[in-house]
Amino acid sequence: MADKLFEDPRLAVIYDPFDPDRSDLEAYESMVDEFGARSVLDIGCGTGIFACRLAARGFEVSGLDPAEASLKVAQTKPWSDRVKWIHGNALNLPPLTIDLATMTANVAQVFLTDEEWKETLLAVRAVLRPGGRLVFETRNPKAQAWLKWNRENTYKRVDIPNCGVVEGWVDVTDVQNSFVSFRWTYIFESDGAVITSDSTLRFRSREEITNSLRAVGMSLDEVREAPDRPGREFVFIARRPTT
C-alpha cells in the first residue's frame, strides 16, 4: 500500500509544486540514451514526470505505481496519453519485454524486507530482455541524510494554483538500524486542514545491494554517483545476462 503522501488525492496534487526541481532525472534520461533503450519501465513513477518526459521523446514507456491518486495526476500531464500506466507493484506487471527499468528518487528504499526487495528484483528481471538493464539509486547510509529531515531545514510555504497556500515540512520520527521513519506535515491555509503522512525507508549498504542483485541472477555493471548529489547517492546499473 502506498504512503498517504502519494495516495491521498489532496496530497498527490501538491507533490510536484513542493518538489519542483527534478534535475535528478537528467542523469536517468542520459542513461536511456547511453544504453540505446527504446522501451522503458518506470517503477514507482509517481506523478509521471519522468515517464512523460520520455514519452515526449518518442520512447515506449510504461509507468508503474501503487498509488492511484498519483497516477491520476500523472494522466493529466502533456504526453501522458503515450504512456502505459499500470496501477500496482512489480508483482502485478502484465507481460512485458523492456530494454530498461528505472527506480528514481527513493523508490528502491521503500522495500523494507529482504523478501519484498528480492521479489521485486525477480519481477523486474522477468520483464527485462536479455541484456536489458535495471538502473536505480539508493542513499548512501554513511551520508546520514536524515539528520537534516526536520522543520528547520525542510519548511516550505507554497502558493499552488487551484489549491491556495500550503505549508509543509518533514520530521524524523524514528531511526532503528537501517530503517528511518519520518512524517510529512501539510497545512492548507484555505481551510486550515492539517494532513500528515508517515513513511519509512531502508538504507541498505552498497554491499547489501550488490549481494541482492547477484542473488537474483543480475550482473552488476557499475555503481555511479548521482551527478547532482556527489557522495550522497549510489546509482546502481545492473543487467540481465544474455545467457
The H or E element spanning position 181 is: strand 179-188
Give the pLDDT band of residue 2 (cuts 50, 70, 90): confident
Residue type at 116 in one-letter notation: E
Res. 1 pLDDT band, cuts 50 70 90: low
Chain Cα centroid distance, residue 243: 29
Query: Could you tell me which residue, 132 or 1, shows the higher pLDDT?
Result: 132
Query: What integer pLDDT is reported at residue 96 of this predicted model?
Result: 96
Residue 228: band (very low, low, confident or very high) from pLDDT cuts 50, 70, 90? confident
Q: Cβ(52)–Cβ(77) under 8 Å? A: yes
What mean pLDDT do residues 119-131 have? 98
pTM of the predicted model as reported, rounded to 2 decimal places: 0.96
Where is 151: in which H helix or E strand?
A: helix 151-154
**Residue 169 half-sphere exposure toward CB, CA atoms < 13 A:** 14
Of all residues in the chain, the percent with pLDDT exceeding 90 is 97
pLDDT, residue 80, reads 98
Give the β-pairing of 193-202 and 179-188.
antiparallel
Q: Please provide the average confidence, as pLDDT, over all residues in the chain.
A: 97
| Per-residue confidence (pLDDT) for residue 212, from 0 to 100 | 98
Predicted pLDDT of residue 102: 98
Encode 32-61: b = buried (16+ Cβ within 10 Å), e = exposed. beebebebbbbbbbbbbbbbbbbbeeebbb
Q: What is the pLDDT of residues 139-176, one digit of tens each?
A: 999 999 999 999 999 999 999 999 999 999 999 999 99
Residue 135 has pLDDT above 70, yes or no: yes
Query: Span 186-197, mean pLDDT?
Result: 97
User: What Cα–Cα distance (Å) separates residue 219 from each residue in 46, 132, 189, 241?
Assistant: 27, 10, 50, 7
Residue with cell 555493471: 221
Nearest to 61 by CA among 90, 100, 13: 100
Determine contact, residues 157/167, Cβ cutoff 8 Å. yes
Which pLDDT score is estimated for 243? 80
pLDDT band of residue 90 (cuts 50, 70, 90) is very high
Residue 186 DSSP symbol: E
Is the four-CA dihedral 209, 113, 85, 216 of positive or negative sign? positive
